[in-house]
Amino acid sequence: MSQLIEQQMESVVFRFRVKGKVKSIQAFGNGHINRSYIVTMVEGGEEKRYTLQQINTSVFRNPDELMENIQSITAHIRRKLREEGKDPERGTLHMMSDRAGEHRYVKDAYGSYWRMYPFIDDCISYDIVDCPDVFRNAARAFGTFQAQLADYPAYTLNETIPHFHDTGSRYMDFEAAVARDLVGRAESVQEEIAFVRAHRKETYLIQNAIIAGEIPVRVTHNDTKLNNVLMDKENNAVCVVDLDTVMPGSALYDFGDSIRFGASTALEDEEDLSKVQLDLELFEAFADGYLETAGPAMTTKEIEWLPFAAKMMTLECGIRFLTDYLNGDTYFKIAHAEHNLVRARTQFKLVQEDEDKMEEMQAIIRALVHKYTGK
């Protein structure tokens, strides 16, 4: 980082209610949207760390509404943790106030929005997991998160990204990108385009079921990647992070997106597709932890849809990566020119895996329902 940029960031840091001097500011995290930094402050020989994040305002168009959501849901979770005698300092995120105590963010001279959270120390987050017990703990964290927000009035939350998990709407964005072919890539991805088109009819099914009232609307996280759960040294989940997309949604989104990312045997950008498989043991572990914690509040229909949701959230994410590739990589951060295409291909391979293993996933869910309800 250049000295000038570091000085500018320091001046942002001091507009929050922090004490001491800045020792260092380092970029970190593997997220595809925001920019995250660890800020280390020193005061009286003591070090304290914070996460500083620059919000991507081309993705999150209304940062005020976004922060309002995070502030109110974290306050709600904090209350729940206190009631349960748990540590509210580690169990949820705390947005720092600015010096005036007016906002939970700082706007810099360029119009960028920044927020700061005390860093939750001694934790790790995984991009890949091969141990079912670790994945079960991640599921418990997301299931508990949903349970903690079950009595939060969903209609009062702002929609931070409209139609976020409306797969049918994502499909239409994809067709528009193919038609525009802004950067002339469509010709080279005909196979991937055909794959998406072959699945068109399915993209509307979850949304239709929600609109018809068959699937309930809940307050959901909507970005339940494994690396959005902080784990302690014993691999127990400590805190669910990355709360930008918490808004009204469906448990199908949270379950499906977790399986998409965490039950894969490879990273999201693995180039060797023979390494990319759906691991049914991981699927079972996640489903177990999720049904244990969120299951009691879920409806029978919702639970039946879980395996299909895993496939649909994977297809949706693949569609989004491919759409971004066709649009010239304007949404997701990339490390090389083909990154979004590589990501789209892993997702489509996983969709095939989901299709091949659909009956096994369904049998696992039925067995778990029996385990928890006796039915």
Binding site for ligand ADP (CB under 6 A): 29, 31, 33-34, 36, 51, 93, 117, 119-120, 123, 125, 227-228, 230, 241-242
Shortest Cβ contact with Mg ion: which residue? 242
Nearer to Mg ion, 128 or 186 (CB): 128
CA distance 203 to 225: 21
Q: Find out whether 70 and 95 touch, Cβ atoms under 8 Å.
A: yes
Nearer to ligand ADP, 246 or 364 (CB): 246
Tokens 């380092």 -> residue:
26
Among 95, 174, 242, 263, contact with Mg ion (rule: CB under 5 A)? 242
Only segment of 29-37, 81-89, 146-154, 358-366 that touches ligand GN1 (CB under 6 A): 29-37
For 279, the token pair is 């691991």
CB of 91 to Mg ion, least distance (A): 18
Total binding residues toward ligand GN1, as defined by CB under 6 A: 13
311 binds ligand GN1 (CB under 6 A): no
**DSSP, res 164:** T
Alpha carbon separation from 32 to 142, 242, 329 (Å, rounded) = 20, 11, 11
3-state secondary structure at position 302:
helix
Q: Find out whether 280 and 357 touch, Cβ atoms under 8 Å.
A: yes
Contacts of 364 (CB under 8 A, 6+ apart): 280, 283, 284, 287
* Residue among 268, 217, 220, 216 at smallest CA distance from 244: 220
270 binds ligand GN1 (CB under 6 A): no
Instruction: Please report, as residue ranges, which positions from 50 to 79 form the binding site for ligand GN1 (by CB under 6 A).
Output: 59
The interface partner of residue 217, options being ligand ADP, Mg ion, ligand GN1, none and the CB cut-off 5 to 8 Å by kind, is none
Nearer to ligand GN1, 78 or 343 (CB): 343
For 96, the token pair is 């720092």
Strands (E), the chain: 21-27, 35-43, 46-54, 106-107, 113-118, 218-220, 229-231, 237-240, 247-249
CB of 332 to ligand ADP, least distance (A): 11
**DSSP, res 274:** G
Going residue by residue from 16 to 55, which x/- string records binding to Mg ion, judged by CB under 5 A? ---------------x------------------------
The interface partner of residue 186, options being ligand GN1, Mg ion, ligand ADP, none and the CB cut-off 5 to 8 Å by kind, is none
* Binding interface with ligand GN1 (CB under 6 A): 31-33, 59, 223, 225, 228, 242, 244-245, 257, 268, 317
